[in-house]
Structure 1
Amino acid sequence: MNNLVDIFCDVDDFCHQFLPKWEAQLLSNGTRKRIRSSKMSISERMTIVIAFHQSNHRDFKNFYIGLVRQYWSEYFPELLSYTRFINTMSELIVPMCAYFQTVKGEPTGIAFVDSTSLKVCHNIRIPRHRVFADSAKRGKGTMGWFFGFKLHLLINHNGEIIALNISPGNTNDRTPIPDLCKNLTGKLYADKGYIGKKLSETLKESDIDLVTTVRKNMKAKVISAFDRAMLSKRYIIETVNDQLKNISQIEHSRHRSATGFMLNVISGIVAYCLKKQKPRIRLANSELEMMAA
């Protein structure tokens, strides 16, 4: 339970700073006429949603009714009914996105980029799917064709997420890279799907050195021993993607709205960011010297 308290304290401190400014902006630009108060604070609701993505539960209803209501009611004295809680979850998307900016990692000079599919339904149900009929697209990944979106991740060598982008499933992996790398410098390691002369030149202008593997029909490139070692450790970002899907539960096919989909993804990513133990690459002093050279 200490972990739950720690999450709430950090989220609540953030909300005390962020919410007054956000609510004042909503009132000033006419987005809302008034801000209605709720029995449960936004920080309490954000804590519950983040805790769900750290709990290994696969179903939020069972988590809320079976765990939160039965065992955590003393921590949340004004706990809402499950139906009411679900109806208010759309209010959390903006604070959750803003909170992510405070818990994400910082560039370290070594970064890895990759994309992973976010399927929103099984392939046989694509013709009947309605929720994302106008926004999701068919794409192809290493596991075959899918219908949904792509999550593009940029992480440092400590396994911390630096930036992310969500795009339709048919988006080329190279397209979001310039925006993802706006605040990045140093080495960027990627697979052969990111090979492109134009992309390399664009990143070079921002002092980013894109290092990729090569295709079978390409000549072998001369790269440093350090770059070769880092390319062999690209599994770190695949491990992060695996934890996001199988532990943080950012992918499922039961979404009822685009807002619910976005909240599920970003809150799962926040839950990962708050984990103390992350996959990381431990670099020896000799390896750091190789990088400097």
Structure 2
Amino acid sequence: MSLEALFCDVDDFCQVFLPQWEREQLVCGERQRRRPARLSVSEMMTIIIHFHQSHYRHFKGYYLGYVRPHLKRAFPGLVSYQRFVALIPSVLIPLCAYLQQRKGPATGIAFIDATPITVCHNRRINRHRVFKKIARRGKTSMGWFYGFKLHLVVNDRGELLAFHVTPGNVDDRQPVPHLTQGLSGKLFGDKGYISKCLFQTLFEKGLQLMTPIRKNMHNRLLTLFDKLLLRRRALIETIHDQLKNISQIEHSRHRSIGNFMVNLVAGLIAYTHQPLKPSLNLTHPQLMLLNKPR
């Protein structure tokens, strides 16, 4: 997606969202300065999202090495790097609202998985201060980490349906009922989501949880389509890989919680703008056959 097209889409959203957001904000009664910023909210959002599409490894190099030398005509009100970093937390709410409208449609087939978001190396846990009160140690199949977990739900086209961020020690099954609100059909996950209670809770809402079985579990009958879809869980793992290696949602250079959340949300938005996403390439008749009650 070009920079011009991205700005137009973001600016159209801001023209509708910002006036409504400002009307609903609480007033403390104190007189405050409301000096207009040199950069508009839509311009800041565009720069932040475009960074996650630019393949730069860190924002400072992107802003100083690309934005200021090459995008001065596109953004005539550019500020210094230090000032821009200070303004980043102010666009968190608009970015979250914009991400909500970027979600894909529910197709009756969904995949769920969690991935660790490491905030520092394990050797520096005791010295880490930025996320000391909220980050936690967790363990995955790859070992221990310190930070958070990003829980994602995507459809068969690789489009984002829901996301949730939790401390690293939270069980993968805990946020599932919240993540799957409004979804129906079939939900495919790995062995970490095996739970009779969770299965029953989702089944009562019209969502069937499908997972592989452990060695000590009794075998169960599955249709051929369900078995094939269980083998395609790598779809969401590919999305996690793209978010970390292309959209740069994970790094250890954060200096505030607000900037961490902006970086994460903007990375998810950048992914939703990808023209080609990991997909199962299922046709509409195939989807109807999969969702047909038996």
Structure 1 segment 138-149 matched on structure 2, within 5 A: 138-149=137-148
Q: TM-score normalized by structure 2?
A: 0.96
1:286 Cα offset (Å): 5.0
Counterpart of 2:43 in structure 1 is: 44
Aligned position for 2:251: 252
Aligned position for 1:12: 11
The equivalent of 1:168 in structure 2 is 167
2:212 matched residue in structure 1: 213
2:289 aligned residue: 289
Distance of 1:190 and 1:263 partners within structure 2: 27
Query: CA distance change for structure 1 residues 258 and 32 in 2, over 3 Å: closer, same or farther?
Result: farther
Q: How far did residue 275 of structure 1 move?
A: 1.1
Letter in 1 for 2:274: K
Contact 1:155 1:162 in 2 (8 A): yes
Letter in 2 for 1:121: C
Q: TM-score, normalised by structure 1?
A: 0.96
**2:153 corresponds to which letter in structure 1?**
L
Measured against aligned partners, the alpha-carbon deviations of 1:76-97 in whole angstroms (never above 9, x if no partner) come to 0111111111111111100000
CA distance in 1: counterparts of 2:137 and 2:31, whole angstroms: 37
Contact kept in structure 2, 1:159 and 1:240, CA below 8 Å:
yes
**1-side partners of 2:288 and 2:236: how far apart?**
20
Give the C-alpha shift of residue 291 in structure 1.
4.0
Question: Is the Cα contact below 8 Å between 1:26 and 1:32 reproduced in 2?
Answer: no
Q: Is the 8 A contact 2:172 2:192 kept in 1?
A: yes
For 1:115, the equivalent position in structure 2 comes to 114
Q: CA deviation at 1:28?
A: 4.0
| Identity in percent | 50
Per-residue CA distance 1:108-152 (angstroms, 9 max, x = gap): 100000000000000000011111111000000121100000000
Q: How many residues align?
A: 292
The offset of 1:36, in angstroms, is 3.4
Q: Which amino acid aligns with 1:14?
A: F
Give the whole-Å Cα distance in 1 for the aligned partners of 2:262 and 2:223. Answer: 41
Quote the residue 1:234 is aligned against: 233
Q: Is the 8 A contact 1:158 1:279 kept in 2?
A: yes
Q: Is the 8 A contact 1:159 1:279 kept in 2?
A: yes
Counterpart contact for 1:226–1:291, Cα < 8 Å: no
**Separation in 2 of the partners of 1:23 and 1:208?**
37
Q: 1:6 deviation in Å?
A: 0.5
2:88 alignment counterpart: 89
In the superposition, relative to structure 1, how do residues 96 and 86 fare at CA in structure 2: closer, same or farther (>3 Å)? same
SS in 1 for 2:75: coil
Deviations 1:157-196 (A, max 9, x none): 0000100000000000000000001110110001110000
Residue identity matched to 2:282: L
Structure 2 counterparts to residues 122-133 of structure 1, below 5 A: 122-133=121-132
Equivalent-residue separation in structure 2 for 1:265 and 1:255 (angstroms)? 11
Secondary structure, aligned partner of 2:129: coil
CA 1:262/1:195 → structure 2, altered by over 3 Å: closer, same or farther?
A: same
Instruction: Please say which of residues 103-112 and 32-41 is displaced more in the overlay.
Output: 32-41
What secondary structure, in the 3-state scheme, does the structure 2 residue paired with 1:48 have?
helix
* C-alpha RMSD of the superposition: 1.5
For the residue of structure 2 that corresponds to 1:107, the secondary structure is coil
Residue identity matched to 1:156:
N
Q: Bigger CA drift: 279-288 or 242-251? A: 279-288
Q: Is the 8 A contact 2:113 2:151 kept in 1?
A: yes
Question: What secondary structure, in the 3-state scheme, does the structure 2 residue paired with 1:127 have?
Answer: coil
Say whether residues 1:153 and 2:169 are aligned partners.
no
Q: Distance in 1 between matches of 2:200 and 2:21?
A: 39
Which residue matches 1:222? 221
